């Protein structure tokens, strides 16, 4: 028998009210609550909490507050920086490469719901992974939607809503985001 968590991690429709998933979200909320209450001088404590919360983390700076669903699906490379008020809905894997910068209020959504109203009313949801390459800068209040990939060296303009993959070395902006120019 397949668990709801297994379905979620495979990107299949799943029931988010499953007791195992509810408990895991509560655990992530407890860790983020502790993290968000740290002070700027508690760098060791922040590091320990991020190591417990995220699936993998190397040399990250995350300005509180931060929010996420599960945490264990978030993987960040070296020299990762997230400014204040970031939200990562990580029902699927979210991967950030090395030297990624997130402006304030960046949101990353792997979770999605059915387009059909009757299916939505049934309460099932699903998700698709989000991948961000190396040396990417994501401007404040930008949104990365479920299933997108952002290529190495790209820049996401402030307020952009990314609904499709972003090629390497591109500057994208707007809603929905579109390529504005190459950054090279």
- Domain with residue 120: its CATH number is 2.160.10.10
* Full domain range(s) for residue 68: 4-182
Domains held by the chain: number = 1
Q: What is the pLDDT along the chain (184 residues), one digit of tens a residue?
A: 799 999 999 999 999 999 999 999 999 999 999 999 999 999 999 999 999 999 999 999 999 999 999 999 999 999 999 999 999 999 999 999 999 999 999 999 999 999 999 989 999 999 999 999 999 999 999 999 999 999 999 999 999 999 999 999 999 999 999 999 999 7
What pLDDT does 178 receive? 98
Q: Which residues are catalytic?
A: 113
- What are the two backbone dihedrals, phi and then psi, of residue 133, each rounded to the nearest 5 degrees? -75, -170
Owner of token pair 């990417």: 136
State the Cα–Cα distance between residues 19 and 33, nearest whole angstrom.
Answer: 21
């Amino acid at each position: 028998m397949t668990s709801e968590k297994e379905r979620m991690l495979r990107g299949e429709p799943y029931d988010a009210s499953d007791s195992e998933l509810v408990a895991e979200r509560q655990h992530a909320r407890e860790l983020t609550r502790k993290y968000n209450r740290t002070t700027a001088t508690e760098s060791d404590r922040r590091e320990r909490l991020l190591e417990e919360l995220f699936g993998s983390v190397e040399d990250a700076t995350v300005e509180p507050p931060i929010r996420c669903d599960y945490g264990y699906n978030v993987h960040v490379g070296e020299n990762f920086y997230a400014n204040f008020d970031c939200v990562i809905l990580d029902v699927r894997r979210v991967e950030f490469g090395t030297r990624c910068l997130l402006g304030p209020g960046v949101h990353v959504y792997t979770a999605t719901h059915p387009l059909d109203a009757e299916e939505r009313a049934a309460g099932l949801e699903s998700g698709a992974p989000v991948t961000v390459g190396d040396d990417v800068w994501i401007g404040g209040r930008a949104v990365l939607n479920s299933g997108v990939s952002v290529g190495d060296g790209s820049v996401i303009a402030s307020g952009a809503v990314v609904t499709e993959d972003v090629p390497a070395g591109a500057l994208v902006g707007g809603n929905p985001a579109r390529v504005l120019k190459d950054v090279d």
